[in-house]
Structure 1
Amino acid sequence: MFDRHDPFYAQLAPLREFSQLADPERFQPVPGDWVVGAADIVDSTGEIERGRYKTVNMVGAAVISAMINALGGQVFPFVFGGDGASFAVPGADAARSREVLAAMRRWAEEEFAISLRASLIPVADIRAAGRDVRVARYATSDGVDYAMFSGGGLAWAEARMKAGDYAVSPADPGAQPDLTGLSCRWSNSRALNGEIVSLVVQPTERATERDFADLAQRLVVVSEGLARGGHPVPPAGPPMRWPPPGLALDAHVSREGGNLALRKLLLLGQNLLIWILFRTGMRLGSFDPEHYRRTVSANADFRKFDDGLKMTLDCDGPTLARIRQLLDEAQSRGKIRFGIHAQTEAMMTCFVPSATQDDHVHFVDGASGGYARAAAAMKGQEIRA
């Protein structure tokens, strides 16, 4: 679907090979009148320590689902970061984006007692600061493609957000973002090759774009030597159990201010039917559970560029050792900062506009801290430096 305001992003041809995204020439600068939105959870590491990582992931993904719903299917670039999300939209959608971010801040606080910060930053200001916002599209399957970012502008925007600049104030009490389609009914996927490794790599000021592109290309080549390129979700999709482990979280997300207990009961019934369909392979109308399972895996977003490289890999020991060697060498030259967090399982948070279409979106992260813990390790390197 073409953007009714600005066809820039919709007209970008999606790339089919992830390794192509290591090339800076594959990215195009967004128009100068666009804005960047960014949101993340304050003290996400503390929330994880309290056992709330599934909630952290859900709130981060909720920012994206709320924006997709608010823009009515309009195509725009976004990226999921584990404990938050970022996006870029035309200036004509700035007011609506501000409303979404304001509602998200209020909802996260009232529903989960989570402090979400958010900012909306003009691309013109980012460029005035010497950074850029460039995007590309990467197609994981015929049904879904994801935005990739380069140019340093997204990282700059996130830093300004954390400093309190360009802040979006919370909406009035009771604000409810539209989170239709957001869910987490799948169980976690266990590592088959060794460990689920969450990796975050960012260039330093000393690294040129070509420096980082060369390293990213080498890391991607190494990871693609893994079974299925390190894809952490089984080909037939993650396991499903009843009752689903995320039932309470789904109830919070979908109750829209209604009674939580009643919503849980309704979801129990709905998920029982879904579980039976997946267990038996029975079709329901045009819904084919076997096809849906395969599409879930194909559509999963387990690696991305967002002014750096993030990957969640089902990784064996020798491959992880090679990745660490490449990272250590680049860090010793002052070219990068990186963080790695290993765990036994991967988790997934989903946005499903329709279960009978192939455009459902699935955000993958490690199940015990993932990108947030890897980023915390990277910050630790910055402090020691």
Structure 2
Amino acid sequence: MNQGSDSDAFYCTLPRIASFGAMSDPDSYTPLPDGWAIGTADIVGSTGHIAAGRYKTVNMIGAAVISSQINASDGQAFPYVFGGDGTTFACGPGQAARSARILGVMKRWAAEEFGMELRVAQVPLADIRAAGHDVSVARFQAASGVDYAMFGGGGLSWSEARMKQGAFGIPAAAPGAVPDLTGLSCRWSNAKAQNGTILSVVVEPAPGAAPRAFANVARQVVAVAEQLRRAGHPVPPEGPRLRWPPPGLTLEAHASRGRMSLVRRKMQLLRDTLIAWVFFKTGLKAGEFDPVHYAATVSSNADYRKFDDGLKMTLDCDAVTQRRIEQILERARRDGILQFGLFAQDEALITCFVPSITQDNHIHLIDGASGGYTRAAAQIKGAAI
């Protein structure tokens, strides 16, 4: 495929696959075209921020990286994956310069708005392949209105590791730079576990492990999780709870204020969220907006499981299923196939990007509310929280 607009549209040409189990099969994935690049970002010292009780902020910044890229994409679909304390995405050659500029803006914004260091990088696909890795993509159809990208090939993990070593870094934009985060919000209350615990699962291939061997184990884990009620979906089918004022109001004010004062933006949001709360509480419709349908779509659209050079899941899990998952993973770890981390908490955290309240294409990124993916991944690294 030639570089330029045809290459940029590559992701739009991929088939949407409705079976999550099929995402464990390497044959479901298609390599990115030449000329693409990988953007990656994470919060420096995220484990310390979590220990200080700032995980909702860490989560919001990770989601903000995605929303800033979506808002700048002119409607061009591109693959991305949310990892809790950061995110990774791919962009075509026609989008790379703008994407890098926005990463620099996000780095500046995170520092000025929250006092957190956001590490950002853009890695050419050519460098990934020269290092012996690749980036392949599939589209998982989570619901009728939304699909999420899945990644394989090892290139994302390599890119993140090189970023943390200081390679491919992007400098911060000029002071005062503000990203477009329209549609980013965190108004829903946390979803409480119904089956016992919210289990964060992070599974990565062991160095040198055969891709097929890892895929077989991942398929077993997914099959066990799918025996849970609603496959372990942590968000109730009718949608999460909403209270007023919403717990994430201050964070949303930071994200959406632009150059407006924080106090003024909070006052606006208090008014807007009160109106929204009345509609959700009563179920009354407003024109094309149906609050009952919208809340249910929040659940169906939720991104609670994914592949990104490994398997990540946020499951509403009972003790028996957790033990079965652990037994499968422990055996595979002893066999040199994978490494993994599990972290249990009481609630799941929901961060949202809503282009329109009257359409079904809103996305909802799920993580454990007490550190989730970051704490599970820390077990792999041997880090102590």
Normalising TM by the smaller chain, what interval? Answer: over 0.9
The answer to whether the Cα contact below 8 Å between 2:187 and 2:242 also exists between their aligned partners in 1 is: yes
- 2:256 corresponding residue in structure 1: 254
Per-residue deviation, residues 99-120 of structure 1 (Å, max 9, x unmatched): 1100000000000001000110
Q: Is the 8 A contact 2:8 2:93 kept in 1?
A: no
Of 145, 157, 180, 2:182 maps to 180
Number of the residue aligned with 1:123 = 125
Letter in 1 for 2:103: L
2:199 maps to: 197
Question: Which residue is equivalent to 1:101?
Answer: 103
Residue 5 of structure 1 deviates from its aligned partner by 5.4
In structure 2, C-alpha distance between the alignment counterparts of 1:360 and 1:258, rounded to whole Å:
25
**Is it true that 1:145 corresponds to 2:143 in the alignment?**
no
Q: Structure 1's 262 and 4: CA in aligned 2 closer, same or farther, altered over 3 A?
A: farther
1:90 matched residue in structure 2: 92
Give the alignment partner of residue 308 of structure 2, picking from 289, 293, 306.
Answer: 306
Q: Which residue identity is paired with 2:364? A: H
Report what 2:54 is aligned to. 52
Q: Partner letter of residue 126 of structure 1?
A: I
Alignment counterpart, residue 373 of structure 2, candidates 371, 374, 377: 371
Tell me, yes or no, if the aligned pair for 2:140 and 2:150 is still in contact at 8 Å.
yes
> What residue is the counterpart of 1:22 in the other structure?
24
Q: CA RMSD in A?
A: 1.1
Equivalents in 1 of 2:208, 2:323: separation in Å? 25
Residue 64 (1) aligns with residue 66 (2)? yes
Does the aligned pair in 1 maintain the 2:8–2:95 contact within 8 Å?
no
- Asked whether the equivalents of residues 4 and 74 of structure 1 are also in contact (C-alpha less than 8 Å), the reply is no
- Report the AA paired with residue 260 of structure 1: L
State the 1:179 CA deviation. Answer: 0.3
Identical-residue share of aligned pairs (%)? 58
Give runs of aligned pairs for residues 336-347 of structure 1, distance below 5 A: 336-347=338-349
Secondary structure of 1:225's counterpart equals coil
Output the CA distance in 1 between the equivalents of 2:299 and 2:6: 31
Residue correspondence of structure 1 range 210-289 to structure 2 within 5 A: 210-289=212-291
Q: What is the aligned partner in structure 1 of residue 163 from structure 2?
A: 161
Query: 1:4/1:260 Cα in 2 relative to 1: closer, same or farther (>3 Å)?
Result: farther
Q: How far is the alpha carbon of 1:4 from its aligned partner?
A: 6.6
3-state SS, counterpart of residue 168 of structure 2 = coil
CA distance in 1, matches of 2:10, 2:255: 32
Who is 1:325 aligned against?
327
**Superposed displacement of residue 377, structure 1:** 1.0
Q: Which residue of 2 aligns with 1:206?
A: 208
> Which ranges in structure 1 are unaligned for 5 or more consecutive residues?
none
Could you tell me which amino acid in structure 2 is paired with residue 219 of structure 1? V
Shift of residue 206 of structure 1?
Answer: 3.0
1:5 and 1:133 map into 2 onto residues whose CA distance is 15
Q: Report the TM-score when normalising by structure 2.
A: 0.97
Q: Tell me which amino acid in the other structure corresponds to 1:27.
A: Y
TM-superposed deviation, 1:378: 1.1
Q: What do the CA deviations read for 1:29-50 (whole angstroms, capped 9, x no partner)?
A: 0001100000000010001011
8 Å Cα contact 1:98/1:168 also seen in 2: yes
Please point out which of 19, 32, 50 is paired with 2:34: 32
SS of 1:334's equivalent in the other structure is coil
DSSP-derived class of the 1:140 partner: strand
- 1:283-337, Cα deviation, whole Å (9 max, x unpaired): 1111000000111100000000000000000000000000000111111122111
Deviations along 1:190-244, one digit per CA (max 9) or x if unpaired, are: 0000000001000012311101100000000000000000000000111000010
Query: What is the one-letter code of the residue matched to 1:6?
Result: D
| Contact 1:121–1:166, Cα closer than 8 Å, also in 2 | yes
Match of 2:359 in 1: 357
Shift of 1:122: 0.5
Aligned to 1:132: 134
Partners of 1:273 and 1:73 lie apart in 2 by: 29
Q: Distance in 1 between matches of 2:85 and 2:255?
A: 16
3-state SS in 2 of match to 1:277 = helix
Q: CA deviation at 1:159?
A: 0.4
Task: Tell me what 2:44 maps to.
Answer: 42
Q: What is the deviation of 1:7?
A: 2.4
AA of the residue aligned to 1:179: L
Q: Distance in 2 between matches of 1:203 and 1:268?
A: 46
3-state DSSP of counterpart to 2:143: coil
Residues 193 and 234, structure 2, Cα contact 8 Å, conserved in 1: yes
Instruction: Name the CA distance, whole Å, in 2 between partners of 1:60 and 1:130.
Output: 28
